[in-house]
Structures are given as C-alpha cells and as structure tokens.
Homo-oligomer: A and B are copies of this chain.
C-alpha cells in the first residue's frame, strides 16, 4: 500500500490560473493545512495549518495587549431569550444559528444558541461588571470557536465552525469608542499588510453591508486573484444599541447614570485563506516569512556512504539559530527532489540545499520560494544573507500583491464603465457613489457586486457613477467571498 506521502507525489495540483477554486482546495489539503472532517461544513486544522494560525494569532495578540486589552473566555451557549433582545442583531444572525435542544438526556425548556458571535453574552456580563466611570474602559478580547450555519464549505473561507478573535469594549463616551474602533482597524491593517503581505483597502461599510446591530462597521478588504474581494477583518461601533438592550450603565463623573458605548472587532482564520489565495502559485503555497513555521528548510543531498552531508546540514541549522526558524529534513526514505517538491507545496520561504559540492566549495545553495531563484552563499555569510533574503521575500510578496491589486482596480466614471468593470470581475471598481441602499441593491441585482468600503468623502458636486444622484463619498465595489 503506498503511503500518504508517495500518493501526494503521484499527482500534481491544477494550475492556479485554470481553476482557482480547485487549486485553492488542493493546496489547502496537499500542504497539509487542513482536512475535511466527517461532519458536513467542518474542517480539521492540521498541525502545520495550526502552527501558521498560531503565528498569526501571536501577531494580533501582541498588538491587542500592547494597546491595553486583556483576554478572557465567555461561554459557548446563549439562551434564546437573551439573543432576542437586540432586534437587528438577532434578525441578522438567527438564520445562521445552530441550536442545542437536548442535554443530559432531556429536552431543554429553552433552546441554546451556539455563539455565532458574543456581543450578547458579553453585554450581559458588562452590565454586571460596570457601575462607575472608574470601571471604564473595559477592553477584553477572546480567542474562540464560533458556529454559523453555512451551506457550502471552503477551507478557512466558509466553514460551519471557525476560529477567530472577538474584541469587546465598553467606553464612557462615543468619541472614545470611535477611537477604539479606528485603533483596532489600524492594527488589522498593519498585521494584514506588514505581516501577511496582504494589501488591504480600509473604510466604512455601507448601511446595507454593516454588521447586524452596529451603528457603523469598518473593514479591511483584500483582493483575490479571481477579482473578488475578501473581507478580512471588521471593527464595529455599536453605539449604545447593545448597552440599551442589555442595560449596561454607569455613573459618570457628573453623577449622572448613562449607557456605555460599546465596540466589537473580529478577525478569523479566513484571513489565512486570503494569504493562501494571494501568494500561492502553481507549485502550491507561498508563505510570508513572518508566519512560516519553518522559514528555512535544510535539505541534505547525500552521497551514498558519506555522512558528511548530514553533519553539514546540522551545522547549517546551528548557524541559523536565532536567525530563522529552521527545519532539517533528514528523512532517509525520501529523495532530495521529492523533498524540494514537498516543501515548495508547503510554502517554506527559503530552502537551503547542501550536497558534497557545496561542502567542497564551503557554500550553501539557497532557493527562494517566491521567485524560485537559486544562489550559492559562502557559509560565513549564511546568517546575514538568510536574514536579508527573508526580509526581501516579506517585502516583495507585499509589493507584488499591491501592484497586482492596483493593476486590477478600475476607476469608473460613468454607469457603463462601472457595470462593465464589475461584470468583467477584474478586481475593484472605484467610483463616486451616492451611498443609498436602493442604489446598492440595484447594483447588486445588475452585477452581483456590492460596495466593499466607503473610502472617503467626495468633492462637493460629485455624482454617483451608477445612478447619477449626488455622491457624497468615494467607494470600492466588487463581488465578494
């Protein structure tokens, strides 16, 4: 019986350009990021995928803590009667909820929702914890699993259960809440661009696209190779909606009792789906060095009966200690070319090859995953060069993705170029917009696209490219995941 690894070698993945969706699924599976679970709609995050997600998580977590947030954990279940208190919120989420109706061998008197998000349960607790202005702000984040019932399954992008973080904060004033929302949006932008090499557009969501229960939603949106947008993180001003629904009040410095202003903000493992889609190529995954579990894989090219190569591989790993996360692939049962393919599929940024010729020349051969270029580096320069090249990969993945997004963004000045741009589905269509829900619904009906973010104010006297009404804003449109 052939083993798993041998089977993987036998067939290659489809080219990325031919069928993005099939390519994507194959890469997720073959890079051993995930596997489908024997439960419809669910995936297993395998150790390699988990290690990547963990690195992403650490980057966010460090920034959350640096801005004064603390982690906590709230329950998985929300009683139906509580969920129902914020009308827009329940209306938005009810169709996606999974319900527990039996427990401990008995039918429950009240259904329990499995959290699709935790504003409700957090709001209930904040009502208990907050009494005085001295208790504010409350700045809490949780890393958790949530469930939203989905018909289709795509690893990371669309799963019934997913992992995410959700921040929930309460403030004395609207201004502070608003500042918090922008601060978290900026953290999302910075992790997306600086760490994940994903250029994103940021801005406010339209009325039609905002979070159920929010006063205003802000988002980061990345462009995928098929011209669709991926919403990769959202930050919500919840106004006093939840404070009023869940009775979160405090005595202010002026002795008046007031409702707090709350925010929430979330990023899920879906952002990893964006990384895979944007950077990957026909050979598989391409990981930004910042989130690669192995930044360098050392592959010995052994000569029979000569163990100097194995020794040299370990020496190279030692030289890179503290410089890069390095893995030596010394499996005896696989050939070097097989290992090259495997680690290219799994997206390792840099491969260090070491064979008898390299040893004789006192060098190491480095192969970049992003450009597939090879370069021989003298051993004494190895650490410095690896550092430089990893930094260069990090920079150039971002630059390449940004150039691609810019190439694929069309500025529409009239209805025809607006509609043509969206129907061609090349990428973002940027235009002046009236920001009316009616107009957005018409656009959606005609093109299947919606606004992704409102990026800023328009010059006075501007008109909407689609409907001709006065246009107060500039917005980006696209179909979306």
Q: How far is the CA of A135 from the CA of B2 in the complex (A)?
A: 12
A45-B74, A47-B140, A76-B145 given. 17 additional CB < 8 A pairs?
A: A1-B251, A3-B135, A4-B131, A37-B75, A38-B82, A43-B75, A44-B75, A50-B71, A73-B163, A76-B147, A95-B104, A98-B103, A98-B104, A100-B114, A103-B149, A134-B333, A144-B145
28 contacts between A and B (CB under 8 A): A3-B131, A35-B129, A37-B74, A37-B124, A37-B125, A38-B124, A39-B112, A42-B75, A44-B125, A45-B72, A45-B73, A46-B72, A47-B71, A47-B72, A50-B71, A50-B72, A75-B161, A77-B161, A95-B105, A98-B102, A98-B103, A98-B104, A98-B112, A99-B101, A100-B100, A101-B101, A102-B111, A145-B145
Interface check A342, CB cutoff 8 A: no
- Which residues does chain B contribute within 8 Å of A333, judged by CB atoms? 134
Q: How far is the CA of A257 from the CA of B3 in the complex (A)?
A: 12
Within 8 A of B (CB), among A301-349: 333
Q: How far is the CB of A184 from chain B (nearest CB, A)?
A: 17
A104–B96 CB distance below 8 A: yes
- Which residues does chain B contribute within 8 Å of A100, judged by CB atoms? 98-101, 114
- Once A121-B37, A149-B103 are accepted as A-B contacts, the answer to whether A135 and B96 lie under 8 Å apart by CB is no
Q: Interface 1/0s, chain A 399-419, versus B by CB < 8 A?
A: 000000000000000000000
- Which residues does chain B contribute within 8 Å of A4, judged by CB atoms? 129-132, 135
- Which residues does chain B contribute within 8 Å of A35, judged by CB atoms? 125, 128-129
A255 nearest in chain B by CB position: B1
- Which residues does chain B contribute within 8 Å of A74, judged by CB atoms? 37, 44-45
Interface check A91, CB cutoff 8 A: no
Q: How far is the CB of A334 from chain B (nearest CB, A)?
A: 9
Interface check A78, CB cutoff 8 A: yes
Q: How far is the CA of A333 from the CA of B135 in the complex (A)?
A: 12
- Which residues does chain B contribute within 8 Å of A163, judged by CB atoms? 73
A2 nearest in chain B by CB position: B131
Within 8 A of B (CB), among A130-182: 130-132, 134-135, 140, 144-145, 147, 149-151, 160-161, 163
Q: How far is the CA of A39 from the CA of B100 in the complex (A)?
A: 13
Interface check A457, CB cutoff 8 A: no
Interface check A458, CB cutoff 8 A: no
A114 nearest in chain B by CB position: B100
Interface check A97, CB cutoff 8 A: yes
- Which residues does chain B contribute within 8 Å of A101, judged by CB atoms? 99-102
| Contact residue among B5, B47, B78, B130 (Cβ-Cβ distance under 8 Å from A134) | B5
Q: How far is the CA of A102 from the CA of B160 in the complex (A)?
A: 13
Q: Interface 1/0s, chain A 61-103, versus B by CB < 8 A?
A: 0000000001111111111001000000000001111111111
Interface check A392, CB cutoff 8 A: no
Q: How far is the CA of A102 from the CA of B107 in the complex (A)?
A: 13
Interface check A9, CB cutoff 8 A: no
Interface check A51, CB cutoff 8 A: yes
7 residue pairs, one from A and one from B, having the closest CB atoms:
A104-B149, A3-B132, A47-B70, A42-B75, A45-B73, A99-B102, A98-B103
